[in-house]
Amino acid sequence: MHPGKSSVLVIWKRFVRLKYKTDNQPAIYETTYELPITQDCQLWLKNESEEIVWREFPRRDCICWFPGPSSDHGLVIDVTRLNVPCFRGYLYFSGLNTTLQHQHIRGHRQTRICGKLEELSESDRHIYFPPSHTPPFLHIYGNPVFTLNYHLVDYCYNVTFTSRNGSFDLTSPKNDLQCTFKIYLPYGHRIALTLSIGDNSRSTSIPNTSTELQNSEDTECNGLLFELHDGDNARSHCTRSGDIERQIEFVSRENKVILKVLVRNTDGNTLGMKMRYRAEPVEDLVKTCDFGWVAYRQFCLVAMEETRLPWMQAEMECGRKGGHLASIRSSEAQDIIDKMLLNSPGYRDYNAYWIGASDRTHEGDFHWSDGLPFAYTRELLIVQYLLLSGTYNSINWTAFQNE
């Protein structure tokens, strides 16, 4: 066994002690029986990074405990090899999703994988557990052939914001800290971002305000380097010890920005960064609709991705919100829905969405749930929406609502 791992096969047993004597003998005899009940295979990992191979486990039904994430570290697991038919076994990863201190962080709670590596989505190959007081674990079922690598990451490794506004402070960050902040708002909103960055010991009551950022080329920054990515546009700024606090204001071109922060060679520094943002609606796209909804004529549209429902329950839920599942009656409506879904924070390539088309009364005779005529047809529409609607029991859904 590798020195960074400790493994134990725990066997639980019950001991029965029996005392007895015969009828014609005064002597009392005693005997003990040992009855095995269950046995558990467990592996505890000690190193901050390691490669794990299926051959290292003493038996196939085992639990592997990773080094526990803390308030300072999360955990990243990369699956690099997998080959097991799902009926013969699988890997089951589990851990807490958030902590009270990091409620804005999104991460895996449970992941079950099997099959071949090339069949897995990127999110199943690359598994992230945010900082938590409970260590995540891997439960190996059956006989999977696998290899994985894990390593601890900084607490701000993958911080994702999806709410209307938010904030995050880095105060005197440690050396070699690497952070990634993602702000991902619903389609129809830009991001108004304010960054206060500089030496905390030299902060002033009125910070220097500037919107000028340089091209992302300064890779030799000995201080706090941040890179701001807005679509294909990337800008950066380097702050060094002694720099007066500077305030940077920025409005994104799209509904998603990525902010990367790297701290280097700053032992004992007083550098810091404060990030604040708010959603700025694009009036032509949202008009008077609520946050998260997109306007189309007199309607408001939204993609409901938090709850997966069968078609009938999805239509009932739309009714409770004052609308119906979306009816697509023109190429204009389809283009708006396509853009809304493709730019949604919850969109994945394998997602499917209900719309209001249904042939539940007469097979092959489709009608819209809002009663509007079913006249618009298009090959892309049939492939992308209607067939998917017929092959999933509980999926995401799109909704129409009057403004």
Contact present, 56 and 2 (Cβ < 8 Å):
yes
**Nearest one of 196, 180, 275 to 243, comparing CA atoms:** 196
Q: Which two tokens stand for residue 388?
A: 């998917």
**Cα maximum dimension of the chain:** 104
> For the chain, which domains are there?
5-151 (2.60.120.290), 159-281 (2.60.120.290), 285-402 (3.10.100.10)
CB contact at 8 A, 61 and 80: no
Contact 291, 164 (CB under 8 A): yes
Beta strands 208-210 and 246-251: pairing type?
Answer: parallel
pLDDT confidence of residue 366? 80
Taking the C-alpha atoms of residue 397 and residue 311, their distance in angstroms, rounded to an integer, is 8
DSSP state for residue 348 in the 8-state scheme: -
Contacts of 49 (CB under 8 A, 6+ apart): 149, 150, 151, 152
Q: Can you say whether residue 55 is alpha, beta or left, with left for phi > 0 and alpha for psi between -120 and 50 degrees? A: alpha
Q: What is the pLDDT of residue 398?
A: 58
CA angle in degrees (0–180, nearest 5) for 221-225-230: 130
Q: DSSP per residue over 38-76, as a string?
A: EEEEEEEE-SSEEEEEGGGSSSSSEEEEPPPP-SSEEEE
pLDDT of the residue at 269 = 63
Q: Determine the length of the chain.
A: 403
Calculate the alpha carbon distances from 328 to 293, 347, 352 in Å: 16, 19, 16
118 Cβ contact partners less than 8 Å away, ≥ 6 residues apart: none
The per-residue pLDDT for 399 is 54
Mean pLDDT by 10 residues, the chain (403 residues): 47 60 76 64 86 82 80 86 93 68 46 90 84 85 92 88 92 84 94 88 54 58 89 88 86 94 75 92 93 90 83 87 85 89 83 83 81 65 32 47 55
Looking at residue 208, its pLDDT comes to: 52
Tell me which DSSP letter residue 117 carries: G
d(CA 169, CA 359): 53
Tokens standing for 62? 């085992």
Neighbours of 127 (CB within 10 A): 22
How far, in whole angstroms, is CA 346 from its chain's centroid?
Answer: 9
In terms of phi and psi (left: phi > 0; alpha: psi -120 to 50; beta: otherwise), the region of 217 is alpha
Tokens found for residue 9: 């096969």
The DSSP-derived string for 167-210 is EEEEESPPTT-EEEEEEEPPTTEEEEEEEEEEEGGG--SSPEEE
CA separation, residue 81 to residues 53, 68, 126, 142 (Å): 9, 24, 12, 16
